[in-house]
Amino acid sequence: MAETIFEAGDHKVYLFTDLVTGEGIQSNQLFIVNGSHSALFDPGGNLTYQPLNMAISKVSSIKALDYVIATHQDPDIIPSLDKWLMYTDAKVLVSKLWERFLPHLIPAFMIEKVQGRIVGIPDKGARIKFGDSNIIALPAHFLHSVGNLHFYDPVGKILFSGDVGASLVDKDHDKPVDDFEAHVENMEGFHKRYMGSNKVCRLWASMIRELDVEIMVPQHGRLFQGKAMVENFLQWFEQLECGIDLVDQSDYRVPKRK
Ligand SMILES: [Fe+2]
Ligand SMILES: [Fe+2]
């Protein structure tokens, strides 16, 4: 079911939190409409294609989709690429590091037909024309993918932060975080293992503070609502040791014979 998280005039932002069923990790998909234009973020794979398509159809025309936008290349992000290319006229936007890899997800008979529709975003990010506004693609490399982007909607003041801020919670995925301290345990293990290093956490947090963020939506788990809650996250994240900060020789050993 679509939840409207922002609405002003003909600019609307919808969040889907409950479309993955079965074994797949719970994932959030963001959908933004600006007048007759629309953009979909991290649509996921085959588990979500059908329910997402139906949920979007209730609030907008699938044919009118301008962009399918991927934060990175993971299996929970974009394997439904072939279907979005086949059944819509949307362009697919992704880090330029993954632009040449994504055609591996497309059947051979479609390759020629979709030429020019997978567009690589440069490492430094971009401002993407979207209706009478922009979507700002922000560098988020090594958080966690080597070619990783987050996306900011300046109208709704919404940051879609991909796997950054993700939490693993059993229920109430559609509820904002209310007690940050209590929520840390839902995020900590994931971020320590999946994020690159404290250096990139700090660089990213400093960039995010240049923006006016009212809502931060991660790709998994609960969103962060209000400037104070977003700042709670930034302060936690910029001091987090993670990824290569935490490894030593004991993590790189040839497994012993039994
Ligand atoms: Fe990921
Ligand atoms: Fe993810």
Residue range 86-132, pLDDT digits in tens = 999 999 999 999 999 999 999 999 998 888 999 999 999 999 999 99
C-alpha of residue 90 to centroid of ligand 1, in Å: 22
Mean pLDDT of 246-257: 97
CA gap 219, 221 in Å, rounded: 7
The pair of structure tokens assigned to 195 is 């994020």
No. of H helices and E strands in the chain?
6, 13
The pair of structure tokens assigned to 2 is 């679509």
Name which of 30-44, 99-113, 242-256 the model is least confident about. 99-113
Ligand nearest 25 Cα, by number? 2
The pair of structure tokens assigned to 62 is 């699938």
Mean pLDDT value across the chain: 95
C-alpha of residue 180 to centroid of ligand 2, in Å: 21
Position 44 pLDDT exceeds 90: yes
The phi and psi torsions of 160 (rounded to 5 degrees) equal -95, 110
What pLDDT was estimated at residue 258?
86
Position 64 pLDDT exceeds 90: no
CA gap 250, 31 in Å, rounded: 43
CA gap 148, 166 in Å, rounded: 15
Identify the architecture of domain 2-248 in CATH. 4-Layer Sandwich (3.60)
Ligand nearest 140 Cα, by number? 1
Q: Please state the domain extents for the chain.
A: 2-248
Q: Which residue has the tokens 């001091």?
A: 239
C-alpha of residue 52 to centroid of ligand 2, in Å: 17
C-alpha of residue 258 to centroid of ligand 2, in Å: 35
How would DSSP label each residue in 83-97? HHHHHS--EEEEEHH
Residue range 201-221, pLDDT digits in tens = 999 999 999 999 999 999 999
Q: Which residues surround ligand 1, an ion (CB under 5 A)?
A: 74, 163
Position 1 pLDDT exceeds 80: no
Ligand nearest 166 Cα, by number? 2
C-alpha of residue 204 to centroid of ligand 1, in Å: 17
| 110 in Cβ contact with 82 (< 8 Å) | yes
